């Protein structure tokens, strides 16, 4: 997000400049360490979310907020964070951002309740917005020519590594349970890394600030955040609030909030101020359409990772480490596709994004087929083919969509365009988590009764084979249905509703241990089928999202460009 600066704001140098000093390369290592810490914290939380839910007995809504809240405040603060670097110095703001991120990570690690960790994740997102815009800015002003390309290449490698390693590292840290910290270590590990990065940046990174001295658009930031929040908050909280009238009222208010934001931006632009969004980008071009492509592309990514992690851990009782390993085929496919997509960009241009969207659709359909074929017998190897295809599509999209979108902004507008693009991408992540989460978790609670009743005929037949009296069998059936429905509606997989205690007591009173085993097996298999069915239906959202991406790209002009050219 160094692109938050315009090219004119950073000093340029001829291609034949001297190689950067050893100090500059060491400073780059420090910057990349901090970037890795921030990027890793997004993906590790995906795997840890079910563990956090079990620890605090939180609702599924709070699980969504742990991820979406971070992305929301990150998106809201990106442009402001970049402007603060211009005004007060990139290194100074970077160090403050790293220290704030480290402090927020510590607070997350010692949180004692669901609301607390949600609040601290919001703070962590703001700190990331303060820190991360400086990463690319400092690279841009420290390096020139081919050395700049090499530095940005290293940043790309770190970004990819964080995405690939995040779920596995998160699962390993939770499984190791270092010092009895469990999931808390995914946050606490940031403390020594953050302190080291802050000290290293103070000693090794050269300060830079813009000569233009732009001003912050605080009102624009507030209005933009409010508009997105008025969509994200109702979608996440709607299920817990039983979709009360005020939920729909908040959603309705999002439209006038967007209008107020745009009117404020236009008014500030006419006065010669520094709006959050340069409205000139949307005049006479396809940049607005490109932003919609960016938004939709990211609206399917984080949401998919979250529901897949919940599916495997809550539905199939996989450990965090096993869940992290399940993400490896996706990671492998992403890395493989990145290398394939880059040489295709000069020849195919925007069509590469369409190729990625089409492959993503195929991957989601393959995953739906896998869940249909193995609803109660899912394994790592059975997930590999679909995961690999999803990874291939994801790799093509994330490698190329930025360049396709930024191709619609040229000249001095490129820096502002990249800042808006980054903000829109993170907003898409947050909204995607809210929408897909509302669908998935809503299906888990809303269809629970139908799911358990589908399995009752088999349960009844098994009880008959065990010679359980008819009246006792009917009582067990009712208790089984009540237990499963109550557990699903509670939204907390660790909670044991009173109806489940009643079911266990009834099975014990039969005096036949096989009845107790049958009850446990039926509950487990019904839950697996129910989660698989809910996941299959939810994946239709992903298919629709990437079908829209495919179609929207047709509205962009055909350009052939080199991937990474905007660095």
- Are both 173 and 269 inside the same structural domain? no
- Counting other chains too, the contacts that 251-259 makes at CB distance below 8 Å and 24 or more residues apart are 254/227, 254/230, 257/223, 257/226, 257/227, 257/230, 258/227
Three-class SS state of 551: helix
- With bands split at pLDDT 50, 70 and 90, how would you rate the model's confidence at 563? very low
φ/ψ of 323, rounded to 5, equals -65, -40
> What is the residue range of 497's domain?
448-529
Give the pLDDT band of residue 566 (cuts 50, 70, 90).
Answer: very low
In this structure, are residues 123 and 69 in contact, taking their beta carbons and an 8 Å threshold?
no
Q: What is the pLDDT of residue 253?
A: 92
- Answer whether residue 417 is part of any domain: no
Q: Which residues of 540-555 are buried (b: 16+ CB within 10 A; e: fewer)?
A: ebbbebbebbbebbee
Determine whether 282 is exposed, middle or buried from the number of CB atoms within 10 Å of its CB (0-12, 13-18, 19+). middle
> Are 476 and 520 in a shared domain?
yes
Q: Quickly count: other Cβ atoms within 10 Å of residue 445's Cβ.
A: 18
Residue 406 lies in a domain: no
Give the best-scoring range by mean pLDDT among 354-363, 502-511, 557-566: 354-363
3-state secondary structure 180-226: HCHHHHHHHCHHHHHHHHHHHHHHHCCCCCCCCCCCCCHHHHHHHHH
In a domain, 116, yes or no: yes
Q: Please state whether 35 falls in left (phi above 0), alpha (psi between -120 and 50) or beta.
A: alpha
C-beta atoms surrounding 243 within 10 Å: 14
Q: Considering the domain boundaries, does residue 160 fall inside one?
A: yes
The C-alpha atoms of residue 560 and residue 403 are separated, in whole angstroms, by 10
Question: How is residue 452 annotated by DSSP?
Answer: H
Query: 529 and 320 in contact (C-beta within 8 Å)?
Result: no
- pLDDT at position 472 over 70: yes
Residue 470 and residue 514 in one domain: yes
Confidence of residue 44 (pLDDT cuts 50, 70, 90): confident
Token duo for residue 164:
């690939």
Q: Could you read off the pLDDT of 274-325 as tens digits, one per residue?
A: 887 777 777 766 778 888 888 898 888 888 998 999 999 989 999 999 999 9
Query: How far apart, in whole angstroms, are the C-alpha atoms of residue 169 and residue 232?
Result: 29
Domains held by the chain: number: 3
* CA 335, 415, 26, 104 torsion-angle sign: negative
181/237 same-domain check = no
Domain end position, chosen among 185, 216, 247: 216
Residues in the chain: 567
DSSP state of 553: G
Share the mean pLDDT of the chain: 85
Q: How far from each other are the two terminal CA atoms of the chain, in whole angstroms?
A: 10
Q: Which residues contact 159 (CB under 8 A, 6 or more apart)?
A: 35, 39
Contact 290, 232 (CB under 8 A): no
Kindly report the number of other CB atoms within 10 A of residue 505's CB atom. 10
Which residues does 363 contact at the CB level (< 8 Å), separation at least 6?
386, 387, 389, 390, 391, 392, 393
In a domain, 40, yes or no: yes
**Same-domain pairing of 74 and 87:** yes
Q: Say whether both 123 and 265 belong to one domain.
A: no
Q: Which of 532, 537, 530, 535 is nearest to 481 (CA)?
A: 530
Block residue for tokens 């969504």: 64
In this prediction, residue 409 has a pLDDT band, given cuts at 50, 70 and 90, of low
Question: What single DSSP character describes residue 241?
Answer: T
CATH code for position 52: 1.20.1250.20
Q: Which residues contact 180 (CB under 8 A, 6 or more apart)?
A: none
Cβ neighbours for 375, distance < 8 A, ≥ 6 positions apart: 528, 529, 532, 533
Given the structure tokens 């993400």, which residue do they identify? 327
Helix (H) or strand (E) holding 72: helix 60-88
Work out the number of other CB atoms within 10 angstroms of the CB of residue 529.
18
Within 10 A of 133 (CB to CB), how many other CB atoms are there?
A: 31
What is the DSSP secondary structure assignment for residue 566, as one 8-state letter?
T
In a domain, residue 310? The reply is no
Residue 61, domain member (yes or no)? yes
- Do 231 and 202 lie in a common domain? no
Distance CA 246, CA 197 (A): 45
For 154, other C-beta atoms within 10 Å of its C-beta total 17
| 177, 249: one domain | no
- Going by C-alpha positions, the residue among 173, 204, 272 that lies closest to residue 24 is 204
321: Cβ–Cβ under 8 A, 6 or more apart, which residues? Answer: 168, 171, 172, 174, 175
Query: 14 exposed, middle or buried (CB, 10 Å; 0-12, 13-18, 19+)?
Result: exposed
Average pLDDT value for residue range 423-428: 85
- Whether residues 202 and 134 fall in one domain: yes
Q: Which two tokens stand for residue 35?
A: 């970037």
Same domain? 43 vs 176: yes
388: confidence class by pLDDT, cuts 50, 70, 90: very high
Tell me the percentage of the chain whose pLDDT exceeds 90: 38
Q: Where residue 117 falls among pLDDT bands split at 50, 70, 90?
A: very high
Answer yes or no: is pLDDT of 440 > 90: yes
23-27, 101-105, 272-276, 352-356: segment of lowest average pLDDT: 272-276
Position 564 pLDDT exceeds 50: no
Q: Is the pLDDT of residue 412 over 60?
A: no
| Same domain? 47 vs 80 | yes
Give the residue-averaged pLDDT of 406-418: 57
Structure tokens at 207: 């300060």
The model's pLDDT over 320-358, given as tens digits with 9 standing for 90+, comes to 999 999 999 998 888 888 778 778 877 877 888 899 999
Structure tokens at 382: 């059975």
Task: Looking at the structure, tell me whether residues 58 and 71 fall in a common domain.
Answer: yes
The phi and psi torsions of 283 (rounded to 5 degrees) equal -95, 125
Report yes or no on 199 lying in a domain. Answer: yes
pTM of the predicted structure, to 2 decimals: 0.85
């Amino acid at each position: 997000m160094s692109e938050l600066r315009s090219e004119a704001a950073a000093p340029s140098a001829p291609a034949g400049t001297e190689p950067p000093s050893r100090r500059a390369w060491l400073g780059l290592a420090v910057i990349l360490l901090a970037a890795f810490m921030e990027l890793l914290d997004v993906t590790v939380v995906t795997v840890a979310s079910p563990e956090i839910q079990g620890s605090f007995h939180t609702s599924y809504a709070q699980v969504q907020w742990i991820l979406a809240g971070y992305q929301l405040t990150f998106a809201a603060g990106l442009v402001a964070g970049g402007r603060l670097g211009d005004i007060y110095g990139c290194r100074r703001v970077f160090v403050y951002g790293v220290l704030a991120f480290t402090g927020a990570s510590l607070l997350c690690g010692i949180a004692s309740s669901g609301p607390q960790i949600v609040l601290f994740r919001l703070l962590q997102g703001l700190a990331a917005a303060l820190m991360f815009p400086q990463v690319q800015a400092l690279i841009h002003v420290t390096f020139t020519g081919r050395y700049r390309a090499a530095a940005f290449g290293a940043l790309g490698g770190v970004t990819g590594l964080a995405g690939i390693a995040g779920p596995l590292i998160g699962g390993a840290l939770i499984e190791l349970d270092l010092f009895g910290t469990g999931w808390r270590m995914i946050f606490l590990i940031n403390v020594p890394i953050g302190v080291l990065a802050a000290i290293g940046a103070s000693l090794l990174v050269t300060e830079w600030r813009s000569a233009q001295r732009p001003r912050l658009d605080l009102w624009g930031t507030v209005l933009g955040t409010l508009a997105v929040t008025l969509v994200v908050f109702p979608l996440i909280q709607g299920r817990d609030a039983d979709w009360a009238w005020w939920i729909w009222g908040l959603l309705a208010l999002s439209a006038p909030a967007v209008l107020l934001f745009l009117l404020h931006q236009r008014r500030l632009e006419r006065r010669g101020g520094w709006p959050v969004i340069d409205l000139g980008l949307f005049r006479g071009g396809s940049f607005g359409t490109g932003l919609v492509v960016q938004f939709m592309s990211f609206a399917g990514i984080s949401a998919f990772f979250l529901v897949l992690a919940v599916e495997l851990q809550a539905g199939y009782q996989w450990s965090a480490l096993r869940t992290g390993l399940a993400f490896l085929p996706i990671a492998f496919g992403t890395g493989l596709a990145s290398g394939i997509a880059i040489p295709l960009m000069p020849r195919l241009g925007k069509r590469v994004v369409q190729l990625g969207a089409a492959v993503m659709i195929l991957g989601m359909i393959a995953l739906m087929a896998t869940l249909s074929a193995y609803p109660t017998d899912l394994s790592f190897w059975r997930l590999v083919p679909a995961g690999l295809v999803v990874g291939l599509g994801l790799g093509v999209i994330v490698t190329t969509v930025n360049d396709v979108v930024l191709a619609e902004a040229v000249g001095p507008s490129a820096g502002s365009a990249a800042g808006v693009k980054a903000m829109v991408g993170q907003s898409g992540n947050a909204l995607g988590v809210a929408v897909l989460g509302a669908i998935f978790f809503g299906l888990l609670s809303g269809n629970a009764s139908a799911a358990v009743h589908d399995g009752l005929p088999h349960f009844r037949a098994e009880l008959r084979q065990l010679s359980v009296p008819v009246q006792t069998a009917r009582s067990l059936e009712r208790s089984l249905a009540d237990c499963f429905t109550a557990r699903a509606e509670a939204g907390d997989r660790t909670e044991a509703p009173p109806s489940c205690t009643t079911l266990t007591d009834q099975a014990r009173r039969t005096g036949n241990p096989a009845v107790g085993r049958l009850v446990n097996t039926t509950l487990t298999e019904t839950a697996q089928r129910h989660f698989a069915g809910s996941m299959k239906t939810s994946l239709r959202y992903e298919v629709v999202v990437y079908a829209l991406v495919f179609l929207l790209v047709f509205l962009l002009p055909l350009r052939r460009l080199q991937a990474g050219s905007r660095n």
